[in-house]
A and B are shown apart, each in its own frame.
Chain A
């Protein structure tokens, strides 16, 4: 946007980018808050509410000479529109003149507010939005003093309409701005909300089945300019002015969505600070102002009663409660006894600080193997080399750009990427989706590619020539490569093939180009930078050490085969939020704090290192894991324990090259973001929060730095071949599942599907299975689960698609050969 135009707002001239929206420009350049209700800077203007009326004209130019015509006072002559115009629907143009402070404008604003209030119940004292309500604020600023409407004449409507399991509608409060409808339609692409009836009877409805049930529904409650939409989580939960906002990062996926934890000292939590709700926090590079429903509603695990609250050590073969001192001494003894045969496995949502201190501990003991869990997604090293360039913003992609998504179901794995890439496609980006089956992303794709399960790397190397050409010729190209239906080797081969493609077409080392991968957890890339790898995990499995430290990794819940090799480990030291099958086997089970109770950082899939802050009171005696590792190190004589997460990060910056600039102060840096939402300006973007906790810092790739990159030789691995009567069982991600960090969010349970398997209709016909039948899936000759059959939801012939974490039993992490029988 290099072209500038000159516009005049209230007699002052501004130079603003051509083609931009008047309301946005007035706010950004002139600090002039033109009031709006229906307008939202992230959506197409609709000019419905009429709140933004301004006087508008243009400077008169002589037709012939093009010279500005002057009036008798020597000022440029302005041709004014006879009527007020809606600012929100105006694109700025050279010579545009507007007035926002005249009597006519003031009267129009007052009238619109009065009109809106004729139907409004004015029940602010009991409204969840009270205190942070655009209608309330704009009424104060622009409204009439009193209402001339008889209360008895107001419409009386239903105040508790569930639109789904998570969102409620108060029909009386709705002001028909259609922000929610447009959000679902334009931004999400699930048009499950609409108006019903007309005139004053206009109401929001959903008639979809299930109801208002998308992964992004909660965002509508933020952008609703009144208290008409509320979440089941926060409804009647607290008053906004009692809340303290703590900046944080979503702990669930690779997006690293910036969030704000609204906390309050709460009776229900022993008077400790407690999360009352999760709100989006603006970070235009990462999640803009949106979050998924998992991010919003998946915080209850942090204070689940099932959390591990006290250190436990094995006494006489039984895990027994202990003090931390006892526990530290116990573990130190165990570590010494292991004689250097020490390894660690860390889960993919382990913060950077914990990873670093764990690594130091293990290395200090002479151990070397640092395993990343889960060991299914390879190629973090490649992302570090040719990942999306520093400064990448998925929101910039559009016409002329291209995105290839391969071997992942982004809707289920990283919903925010799916949201943002859908919009990239809307803006004209060429979107190709490649997978063995249809996924949601196909709906937004320009082209789709199908391959056989296990053949992703081969498909990447042998793209249809026309598609490959378009991708290569795109101005910017991002490849999102996942690991669906792949083994670790297959995943590596795919990542290599994708990296090669990018390198060959020159789409690396610059913003909005490069490789992206939906690593599970919030810190998949952090694992890589701190030296943890899935390859090391495989080595640990093959050659179990005497002592294994397992941090926030539920090996047995994730992998039914883990017991085989875990049994060979003499001593397991387990650190986790919850007691689990691993801690039951452990010599010591230590309670650690969740992301909400402590400070720390995650590195997201785009390699952005981002801070989260302590928000909630601690659970029991749990400590942050970095503190435990640091104390153990001190007890082992490896130097003084660190006293703060910031101090740990300082040490990281001194030792890990990629983190050189990542001091906490740097990570906390903020800048003014466009559009300027949040803060006092609720009226504009809704209740998403202004970013006061930091935008984070993105790590440069090798390509960014101009260093040589090495991809390695691509070895196309064999994939398991089913025999006659067998199927390939393909584990896939399911956003709403029964994992330990999501299960405690009870209110989402109705939306967690019953365990099921997708079978192709041809296979189903052969086996005489119908949708809804109970079937037993047997995998690798030994694991059995009983689930419902879904026929032809997109599973290719010969494959059984089995979503993970829906069953009580663990199912294999990677694809296996299996059989299906009707029960």
Chain B
């Protein structure tokens, strides 16, 4: 599969540090919970996979623009990959807690709204993945559009740079 001339594998390679960032925040959130931070506490508000996902989209747009790695279609695919990775990690944590009979930050009732674990996983992989992909795509495309206006790369520059002729004759 190629998007704007780039293979999906290359896109994943470009985004690898962002996948790592999301995974790190995901793990840190679990550690914070295990260390005693409770849902609603300041620490768990700060160490948020949702925030990490949003920040990753912001950074991905910057990378795509500066490395000339495609345009809006690449941004949408990137957003989908990052959010899907985020939701997979959360779903895996909920599944692990359910299978092992333990509790972690992702399986607590506050975040599942009291629904059954499998119901919660389904919600993460449908409602949350879908909504955040749409939100993230809108955000990413808006930022890319602005970035192109603020910092146009070669080939994207307007015609304003043309020099005026002086003393030309016809």
Partners in one complex: no
